[in-house]
């Protein structure tokens, strides 16, 4: 078993009560989590890893479940950094582009976690789910991981890739687009190699009961790993199709229609990932914070950017 060294905490404590939303204080530690020295706006893969590891260590020191997705994310980013530093750049055709994209991509997750720690409203429903539920300890570690992975892929990834390509000067030609497409899908192989470590991380460091029980079933590990990889392939394929649709949009309305589809789809996936918790709270007579009967745009605290604010609009 190999587990990421990013976080010193060996095991996740079990807490029977939910803590106040976005609480940043530990029961035995005074003061909020320090945020001012974290690299929130990385420009490349190495800076992305630096920012992730710093805030990850602090979240784990406070037993904050918002660390779980970042720990998963750090495993992948660490692998990307390692590959890009190889003489052959790990098989990537545009290593500088991928490194810059990795930094910009990580910024989205880092900013979402930072703003949730500062109790600021988040601009996307998917990230509202991915930070609120872990902060309240309403979900299991595997759900916390999936919520973050989904928000980052199903919402952030397409926006970041589109923004990078659309604002290049000179514009990317067909040859360069083919190389970008190769590198984008080559990341799938990186993800495939990271899945076993991520499973071990959930089972051992975060003591995810569902993961541990599933691993006790004979032959379950390869089935689970293949299922997760298949899910990631489907998600990332759809993201690339959305990127192409935004790049080929002929009018602002066509572009905005894709953006709204991305926001709604990512929000609905988050709903599905938390549906069991929302249903159980409803049975108990305690309305969940984000009800399945409400569209993502109507959830409390979700700020929907104006169409003229651009795809990068977010709370700062």
Query: Is a pLDDT exceeding 70 seen at residue 75?
Result: yes
- What is the share, in percent, of the chain residues with pLDDT greater than 70? 78
- The mean pLDDT value of the chain amounts to 85
Instruction: Tell me the pLDDT band of 308, cut-offs 50, 70 and 90.
Output: very low
Q: Residue 310 above 70 pLDDT?
A: no
On whether the CB atoms of residues 155 and 124 are closer than 8 A, the answer is yes
Q: What is the pLDDT of residue 304?
A: 42
pLDDT at site 295: 62
Q: Tell me what pLDDT residue 8 has.
A: 42
Asked if residue 76 lies in contact with residue 194, where contact means CB atoms within 8 angstroms, the answer is yes
Is it the case that residue 36 has pLDDT exceeding 70?
yes
Please say if the pLDDT value at position 305 is more than 50: no
Cα 97-100-106 angle, rounded to 5 deg: 135
Query: What's the rounded Cα separation, in Å, for the pair 218 and 12?
Result: 26
Residue 110 has pLDDT above 60, yes or no: yes
Least confident range of 27-41, 73-87, 219-233, 301-315: 301-315
Of residues 54 and 132, more confidence is placed in 54
Residues of the chain above pLDDT 90, percent = 68
pLDDT at position 268: 87
The beta-strand segments (E) located in the chain are none
Q: Does 122 or 76 have the greater pLDDT score? A: 76
The predicted pLDDT at position 27 comes to 40
In the chain, domain spans: 45-297
pLDDT of residue 271: 85
Lowest mean pLDDT among 33-37, 144-148, 187-191: 33-37
Q: Is residue 170 reached through a cis peptide bond, with omega within 30 degrees of 0 on the bond before it?
A: yes
Question: With 80 as the cut, is the pLDDT of residue 283 above it?
Answer: no
Q: Return the pLDDT at 32.
A: 83
pLDDT digits (tens, 9 = 90+) for 200-216: 999 999 999 999 999 99
What would the two tokens of residue 102 be?
Answer: 């990795």
Q: What is the structure's pLDDT at 292? A: 56
């Amino acid at each position: 078993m190999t587990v990421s060294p990013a976080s010193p905490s060996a095991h996740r404590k079990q807490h029977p009560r939910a803590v106040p939303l976005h609480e940043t204080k530990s029961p035995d530690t005074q003061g909020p989590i320090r945020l001012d020295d974290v690299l929130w706006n990385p420009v490349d893969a190495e800076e992305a890893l630096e920012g992730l590891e710093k805030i990850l260590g602090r979240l784990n020191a406070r037993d904050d479940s918002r660390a779980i997705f970042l720990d998963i994310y750090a495993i992948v980013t660490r692998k990307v950094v390692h590959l890009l530093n190889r003489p052959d750049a790990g098989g990537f055709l545009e290593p500088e582009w991928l490194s810059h994209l990795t930094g910009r991509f990580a910024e989205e997750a880092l900013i979402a976690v930072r703003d949730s720690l500062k109790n600021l409203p988040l601009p996307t429903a998917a990230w509202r789910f991915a930070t609120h539920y872990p902060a309240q300890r309403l979900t299991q570690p595997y759900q916390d991981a999936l919520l973050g992975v989904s928000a980052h892929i199903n919402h952030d990834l397409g926006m970041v890739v589109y923004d990078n390509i659309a604002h290049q000067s000179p514009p990317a030609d067909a040859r360069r687009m083919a190389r970008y497409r190769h590198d984008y899908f080559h990341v799938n192989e990186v993800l495939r190699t990271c899945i076993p470590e991520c499973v071990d991380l959930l089972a051992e460091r975060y003591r995810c009961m569902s993961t541990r029980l599933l691993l006790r079933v004979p032959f379950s590990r390869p089935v689970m790993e293949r299922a997760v990889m298949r899910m990631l392939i489907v998600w990332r394929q759809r993201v690339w199709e959305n990127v192409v649709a935004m790049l080929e949009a002929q009018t602002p309305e066509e572009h905005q229609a894709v953006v709204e589809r991305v926001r709604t789809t990512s929000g609905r996936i988050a709903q599905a990932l938390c549906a069991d918790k929302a249903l159980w709270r409803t049975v108990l007579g305690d309305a969940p914070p984000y009800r399945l009967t409400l569209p993502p745009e109507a959830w409390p605290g979700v700020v929907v950017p104006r169409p003229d604010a651009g795809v990068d609009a977010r709370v700062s």
